[in-house]
Amino acid sequence: MPLTVAALYKFVPLPDVEALRGPLEALCEGLGVTGTLLLAREGINGTVAGRSQAIEALLAELRTGPLFGGRLRDLDCKLSQAEAAPFRALKIRVKREIVTFDAGATDATKAGIPVAPEDWNALLDTEGLLLIDTRNAFEVALGTFPGAVDPGITRFSAFRDYVDGLDPAAHPHVAMFCTGGIRCEKAGAYMRARGFADVRHLEGGILRYLETVPDSENRWRGDCFVFDGRIALGPALVERPDHAPETLR
């Protein structure tokens, strides 16, 4: 029976992050869920897998249970399937950031404007648009949107150097995308803080676009790398395991 994979995140103040780790770990272990969840004072991020009922129970607890007290009620989550277990173990970690960027200096709540997958294609036709793929170079090589700029980075924190080399006046309209949306919230907030007036990002990331937009309208080219044993996903979030892992790093 296929497993359900949940990629989730939310930027939300969690001042009690240290106290949350143990109960969250116990909850996941009790449900037989594997994968990685990162906790920080700025929120939660991660990907986990398990039987469909277990993932449903976990998401219900995260969103409405007493552990987080409703702070994750509108948790962003993308669901897909895996024929085999994509993770070997469970890891619950407390970090400084839920996505490593600049040690928490950038406030992701000040990100750019989210654009729904259904409206993304129209945005791509904007004249003079600077379209940026915020992911690492090996991810970009596997698939991207035509016309997107590859900053050529090997770690997300290096995106700051790329932005610092751009002139905001030369790029009045900016759009960006990443796997699930989390990197764009940090990247967009950073760009806005440096004077870029119109910054937008693909809501829910590439995964939600592939899940939502029909093949006849799909502008994505290639596959989307995912950080688990499936390696990559295609349209409708179908597994694409025919990529050698050693070529993707």
How many alpha carbons lie under 13 Å from residue 179 in its C-beta half-sphere?
27
Residue 61 has phi, psi (to 5 degrees) of -65, -45
Give every CB contact of residue 156 below 8 A, 6+ residues apart in sequence.
Answer: 99, 100, 101, 134, 136, 183, 186, 187
Give every CB contact of residue 241 below 8 A, 6+ residues apart in sequence.
Answer: 230, 231, 232
Residue 17's CB is within 10 A of a number of other CB atoms, namely 18
- Our answer to whether residue 178 is catalytic in this structure is yes
Whose structure tokens read 């770990």? Answer: 25
Residue type, 88: R
Catalytic residue from among 28, 77, 178, 184: 178
> For the packed helices 17-31 and 52-64, what is the interaxial angle rounded to 10 degrees?
160
Residue pair 50/27 in contact (Cβ under 8 Å)? The answer is: no
Strand partners of residue 5:
49, 80
Could you give the CA distance from residue 118 to residue 133 in angstroms, rounded to a whole number?
A: 19
Active site residues: 178
